[in-house]
Structure 1
Amino acid sequence: MSEPSFEELRRELDEVVARLERGDVPLDEALALWRRGEELHRACVERLDRAELEIEELRLGDGSGRDSEPPGG
């Protein structure tokens, strides 16, 4: 089974939040939804962090030297 995409994780998180905001779920289910929401939030943050790191590595590794100061500058 492949790892869900960021968009799929975000969509599920939005659904969890919407259900909790409606306030019509029993307490035990609300707690389970809260836990799932926390898991989804962590997964989304991890994905974004990895993407940011990858972008930074690509930007710095492009060989243009745009981020470095000129010698003597």
Structure 2
Amino acid sequence: MDHSPPAPIESLSFEAALKELEQIVGRLESGDTPLDDAIALYERGSALRGHCAQRLDAAQARIESIRLGSDGAPAGTKPFDPAPTDDR
């Protein structure tokens, strides 16, 4: 088992943070973790969840959709809008 200190959450990529969060959930669900360790894991897991949400929000803000002109060719871009639209 690796006893090195965990990486600072701010430095983790989305994928690394999600992987660590999944490992924490597994350890907590196993029921074999002492109470003090479980509390520390829960706190880190909560911080990791917030970090993942923040990274997803930032990625969503960068997503752009291609706007097509009447001829079907790309006419430009517009910011990503997560709200569903009915363009029928």
Instruction: Give unmatched runs, 5+ long, in structure 2.
Output: 1-7, 67-73, 80-88
Structure 1 stretches of 4+ moved >3 Å:
none
1:53 aligned to 2:53? no
Partner of 1:71: none
- Structure-2-length-normalised TM-score: 0.63
Compare the two structures and name the one with the higher strand fraction. Answer: 2
Higher normalized contact order (CA 8 Å, seq sep 6+, divided by chain length): 1
Compare the two structures and name the one with the higher helix fraction. Answer: 1
Partner of 1:64: 76
Partner of 1:13: 21
The two structures, once aligned, show a CA RMSD in angstroms of 2.9
Question: How many equivalent pairs are there?
Answer: 65
**Aligned residues: percent identity?**
41
- Structure-1-length-normalised TM-score: 0.74
Instruction: Give unmatched runs, 5+ long, in structure 1.
Output: 68-73
